[in-house]
Amino acid sequence: MTTNQRSRKRLCAAALIAPALFLSACGSPEPTTSGGGGGAEEGGGGSLSIATGGTGGVYYPLGGGFATVIRDNIEGYDATVQETNASVDNMRLIENGSAQLAFSVGDVVSDAVEGAGEFEGSPVEICSLGNIYNNFMQAVSVDGTGIQSVEDMAGKVVSVGAPGSATEVGALRILEAAGIDPETGVERRQLGAAETVAALRDGTIDAGFWSGGLPTGALIDLASDGDMVLVPIGEYAEPLASQYGDYYVAEDIPANTYEGQTEAVPAIASPNLLVASPTMDEQLQQDITQAIFDNEEALIKVHPAAVELDAATAGDISYIETCPGAQAYFDEAAG
**Structural domains of the chain ordered from first start:** 3-132+273-334 (3.40.190.10), 135-270 (3.40.190.10)
Using alpha carbons, select from 147, 86, 140, 132 the residue that is nearest to residue 258: 140
Using alpha carbons, select from 47, 145, 136, 143 the residue that is nearest to residue 99: 47
> Which residues, listed in sequence order, are joined to residue 209 by a DSSP beta bridge?
139
Q: How far apart are CA 23 and CA 191, in angstroms?
A: 24
CB contact at 8 A, 165 and 85: yes
CB contact at 8 A, 106 and 184: no
| DSSP per-residue letters across 76-95 | TEEEEEE--S-HHHHHHHHH
pLDDT in tens, the chain (335 residues): 444 444 333 333 333 333 333 334 444 344 333 333 334 445 578 999 999 998 878 899 999 999 999 999 999 999 999 999 889 999 999 999 999 999 999 989 999 999 999 999 999 999 999 999 998 999 999 999 999 999 999 999 999 999 878 899 999 999 999 999 999 999 999 999 999 999 999 999 999 999 888 888 899 999 999 999 999 999 999 999 999 888 899 999 999 999 999 999 999 999 999 999 999 999 999 999 999 999 999 999 999 999 999 999 999 998 999 999 999 999 999 98
CB contact at 8 A, 182 and 174: no
Q: How far apart are CA 16 and CA 32, in angstroms?
A: 31
Question: Which amino acid appears at position 167 of this protein?
Answer: T
CB contact at 8 A, 44 and 37: no
CB contact at 8 A, 271 and 128: no
CB contact at 8 A, 95 and 127: no
